[in-house]
Amino acid sequence: MSPTEVTRFLIERARQLGFHRAGVARIDTATRYRAYRRWLAQGRAGSMNYLSAPHQLAARRDLRELAGEAKTVVVVALAYAKHGGDERTGAGPRGVVARYARGDDYHTVLFRKLAELADAVAEQLGRAVASRPCVDSAPVLERDLAEAAGLGFVAKNTMLIAPGLGSYFVLGELLLDVDAEPTPSIDASSPRCGECRACLDACPTGAFDGEYILDARRCISYLTIEHRGVIDRALRPAIGAMIFGCDICQEVCPFNAAAPDRAEPDPELAPATPDRGAPDPAALLGLGANQLRRYLDGTAMRRAHRNQLLRNACIALGNTGDASSIPALEGALADRSELVRGHAAWALGRLGAVEILTAALDRETDPYVRSEITCSVAEASERAR
C-alpha cells in the first residue's frame, strides 16, 4: 500500500471504530515544545512535578522516545455526551462532575479502540506492526499533534476545537512503524476564536493569564483532580459545587453552542446513571473506603484519591449555603485525614456552625486543622455581625 492508501485506510477504519475525527501527523511534529518548556519554567504546572521528569520531556520533544520504530502518529477524537447525567434526584445539595467523567473511563475505552486500529492495520498490511496506543497519561503533546493532523485548532482556553464538533471530546494517539501520508491541517484562514474571549472571562478562578496561557494552579480541573493538598481558602468559594473537573470554559464557547447536538456520542462515555454528573456530596462523605471504591470503579474519577474527593465534597457543601449539610460536615470533622477535616471546618464556617467548630477545636491536635477551625470561626463570627 502507498502512504496515501495507508492514510485512507486508517481514517476509514477509525471511523468504523466509532471515532468522530481522525487524522495523521508526522512523528516529528512538536511545534509547541518550547512553549511547553516555558510554561513549566514559569511554575504554571503547579504540583505536577512529573511533567518535568527527563523521560517526559524527551518524549514530548520526540515521540520516537516512546517507540523507536515509529514513523507515523494517528490522532483520533472520541466525543462524549454534551448533555445528560446531571439529573437532580433526591433532596439536598448536589455537586458537579465534568462531562467526560460521567461514563466509563475514557482511558480504557480509547486504549482498546486504538489497539483495535493497530490490529486492523497489521491485518491489512499482512505483517506485524510495531505500535503504541497513547492516551493523555502518556507524555505526548496531543493537542499539538491533533492540530497538525487537521482535527481542529487550539483555542484561547488551550482546548482543541474541531469545527462542527466543538470541544467535548477526548483525544488519543497511535504510534505506528508504518509510512502514511499526513493529513492537511485546518486552513489558517478559516474562522477561529477571533476577538472572542468568552472562555477567558467566564473562568471563576481567573486561571488564564492571557490568551492561550493557562495557569494550572488556579484551574478548577487541576485543583479538584491533580492537586492533592490544601486548596487556597481564597479560591474555594469560586470552585462552587465542582466535585471533579470543570466544563465552564467549554460551556460558554460559541463553537460548542453552534455544534449540532450529537444524539449518539460514544455509548461507553455516556453517563452511567441519570445523576452521574450531580453526585450528593453529603452522601460521598458518608461512604466507607470499599463503598467509595465501588462508586469510582471503572470511571475517570479514579484519578483523584479518596481524600481529594472528600475535600472537594466539603468545599461543594460549604458553597451551597444549605444548613442540611451540617451533620455530614460535622462527621467529616472526625475523618482520619487532616485534609478532609480542615476543609470540613472551612465549610462549617461558611454555614455558620460556630458551636460545632468551637467544640472540635478542643479535641483537635493537628496544627493545620486547628488553623482552619480558628480562621473559620473568626470569619463566621464576622459575617454574623
Q: How is residue 185 annotated by DSSP?
A: P
Residue type, position 251, single letter: E
Active-site residue, 136 included: yes
Report yes or no: 115 and 133 within 8 Å, Cβ to Cβ.
Answer: yes
Question: How far is the C-alpha of 354 from the C-alpha of 343, rounded, in Å?
Answer: 15
**Partners of 253 in beta bridges:** none
Q: Kindly state the cell numbers that stand for 325.
A: 449539610
What are residue 266's phi and psi, to 5 degrees?
-55, 125
Question: How far is the C-alpha of 281 from the C-alpha of 279, rounded, in Å?
Answer: 6
Show the DSSP H helices in 126-156 as ranges. Answer: 142-148
Question: How far is the C-alpha of 213 from the C-alpha of 125, rounded, in Å?
Answer: 42
Question: How far is the C-alpha of 279 from the C-alpha of 224, rounded, in Å?
Answer: 15
Rg (alpha carbons) of the chain, rounded to whole number: 23
Question: How far is the C-alpha of 183 from the C-alpha of 6, rounded, in Å?
Answer: 11
Q: How is residue 299 annotated by DSSP?
A: S
Q: Kindly state the cell numbers that stand for 223.
A: 485543583
Cβ neighbours of 280 (radius 10 Å): 23
Please give the C-alpha separations between residue 371 and each of 170, 223, 311, 355, 365, in angstroms, as whole numbers: 40, 21, 16, 16, 10
List all residues 6 or more positions away from 257 whose beta carbon is below 8 Å from its beta carbon.
none
* Catalytic choice (86, 136, 177, 322): 136
Which residues carry out catalysis?
136
